[in-house]
Structure formats: C-alpha cells, structure tokens
Amino acid sequence: MIALILGTSEGREFLQKLKGFEEKIVISTATEYGGELLKEFPVAFMNTKPLDEEGLLNFAKEFNLKGIVDASHPYAKNVSENTIKVCKKLNIEYIRYERNGVLKELNHPNIIRISGLEKLKELDSIIDGPILNTTGSNGVKQILESSLENRVIHRVLPSKKVMNDLIDLGVKIEDIIAIKGPIGYELNKAFIDEYKAKALLTKDSGERGGALEKAKAALDSNIKLIIVEKPKVDYGRCFSDIDETVEYIKNILK
C-alpha cells in the first residue's frame, strides 16, 4: 500500500496513469473539494481533511504504507516537512513530485521577488494602488495581518468554505473574485484593468498553474509583478515528470 498526497491539478492524471493499482493506493487531500475531483477513482481509501504530523503518522500506520508520494502544492512547506518526518520515523520511502516553476528565469524591471507573504509590508512605499492577490485563499489571513495600506483583491476558489472563511476574516465581498483557475491571459488582464491594479501577487505555480499567463498580463499592463519564491525544502528523491513518478510508484507496488 502506498499513499498519494495530492494538492495540485495533476492528481487526476496520476490516478489515470495508475489504473489497475487503485486497490493498493490511499489518497489524502486537504479539502473535500479536492476529494470531489477524484471521487471517480476506486482507490482503497480517501482522506479529505488536513493531516498534521501526528495525523499523518497514524494514517501511515493504519494502512501499513510502504511509502508516501508527496504531490502536495509546491508552497505547502509544512505538508512536505511533516511527510518527510513521518517517512523517516517509519523508515518508509518518501517520493516527492513537484512541477517545475516557470518564473525563476524571468527578468524585468517591474518584477519584485519576496521570500514570503510576511515581506509584503515592506512594499507599501513601492506599490501605489490596489494589489491583485492570485496566491489563493490560504495566505489571505497573513496578508490581512500585514495591515497594508493598499486595497487587496483576492482571487480564490469559488467554494462555500473559502467564501465563508474570507468573510469571517473580514474581507469585503467587493474584494473577492471567486473563480476556478487557471485562467488565461485575457481574463487576467481584464481583472487587472477592472480593479485598476498596480501590482499582481503570484506564486510560481508552474505552467499548469497559469503562472506565465499571470506574469505576461501584469508586465504587459506595466504594473508590478510580485513573485513569492518557492520555499526551500530538502526533498531527497524528487521528480518533476509525472510519467517517471508513476513508473517509480508502480515498481514499489508490484
């Protein structure tokens, strides 16, 4: 038995390519929405709630796992670190899949790179106007705690939980764009124009995550592109190709 921790759009592709091995696979996603997207696959078990280190440890013991494939979001540092710790404790294999970034080599005078959302406050004097946040809902609380003088418009997943969470945090309805990504260049640019944004905040979520379209829309609009850099994690064995990852998983399950 092996576990897949899925946090990106590649989850469906992984399971499609692992057809025939479902009875040997358990899945963990952080949300019920993530589970909904994968419910057609007859895996042995699917968890749809966030797991801390202890929860993941118990999960691994319950299913007597041979290994864990960490395909969580590239910015879910805590998830990866907890998974690595659990694998070491149980002496089982840790396999990381992470899509390649596409913004690392991008060079432009309007690009600002920050190590984390906590650095946003330092940009107060640089950004003269609204900021379009396209990093998702998980960082909204941290952005609000930065007490920025700028208006921040948050583009988030259109789920009931996300909307309720944002409203509970005090985000105004007019500062929420609820839409499932990724979205194309034209719509990104339209949002920039509509909200008169002076900066677009993004993560390097790779080609599949629409990072290039967001970057091009921002730079073509002559506004600042704020890129949150990927967190540094020592993954050990790490794949960036789905087919290679799948073949490795199949060899473990045979």
Beta bridge partners of 40: none
According to the model, what pLDDT value does residue 128 have? 93
pLDDT, one tens digit per residue, over 77-86 is: 999 999 999 9
Report the percent of the chain where pLDDT is more than 70. 100
Residue 199's pLDDT band, with cuts at 50, 70 and 90, is very high
CATH of domain 2-100+232-253: 3.40.50.720
Residue 53's pLDDT band, with cuts at 50, 70 and 90, is very high
The CATH architecture of the domain made up of 111-228 is 3-Layer(aba) Sandwich (3.40)
Supply φ then ψ for residue 162, to 5 degrees. Answer: -60, -45
Asked if residue 28 has pLDDT above 90, the reply is: yes
Domain coordinates of the chain in residue numbers?
2-100+232-253, 111-228
According to the model, what pLDDT value does residue 30 have? 86
Report the percent of the chain where pLDDT is more than 90. 85
Q: How far is CA 78 from CA 81, 112, 212, 220, in A?
A: 5, 25, 26, 34
Residue 197's pLDDT band, with cuts at 50, 70 and 90, is very high
Matching CATH topology for 2-100+232-253 and 111-228?
Answer: yes
Mean pLDDT of the chain, nearest integer:
94
Torsion of the alpha carbons at 224, 228, 229 and 233, rounded to the nearest 10:
180
According to the model, what pLDDT value does residue 34 have? 83
According to the model, what pLDDT value does residue 192 have? 99
According to the model, what pLDDT value does residue 36 have? 85
pTM of the model: 0.90
According to the model, what pLDDT value does residue 59 have? 97
End-to-end CA distance of the chain: 10
- pLDDT mean over 88-95: 97
